[in-house]
Amino acid sequence: MSEEEIINRLFQTIQSRRQAEACDSYVASLFAKGTGKIAQKVGEEAVEAVIEAMRGEREALKNESADLLFHLLVLWADQGIAPKDVFAILEARMGTSGHTEKNSRTTS
């Protein structure tokens, strides 16, 4: 299974658990707590990934990265963003210097 297929399959699972009972599903419990809690979890997992990277703990970083991706997918689902939407942006940026791309963004 490709990386994209794994992400899409996990996203579909997250979507399917959205309407489950919060006591039966961790994903449903996150949705029940709202966007703020979901975003907080993304932030927590990002910090934990950074900590493990700074420690040089590769295995722990892999696990924290998986947690981060999972919670980011929950946030995308909460906001009505599909992985393909993000993949399209990444694809459009391919071959463009990171500095050039960042400078081209409009600030709001």
Instruction: Delimit the domains of the chain by residue range.
Output: 3-82
Which range is least confidently modeled, 16-30, 65-79, 94-108? 94-108
What's the CATH class of domain 3-82? mainly alpha
| The amino acid at 85 | D
| Predicted local confidence at residue 104, as pLDDT | 73
| Predicted local confidence at residue 25, as pLDDT | 97
| Predicted local confidence at residue 95, as pLDDT | 86
| Predicted local confidence at residue 53, as pLDDT | 98
3 state SS for the chain: CCHHHHHHHHHHHHHHHCCCCCCCCHHHHHHHHCHHHHHHHHHHHHHHHHHHHHHCCHHHHHHHHHHHHHHHHHHHHHHCCCHHHHHHHHHHHCCCCHHHHHHHCCCC
Mean pLDDT within 3-28: 95
Mean pLDDT within 60-88: 97
Q: What is the pTM of this model?
A: 0.86
- CB within 8 Å of 67: residues ≥ 6 apart: 45, 48, 49
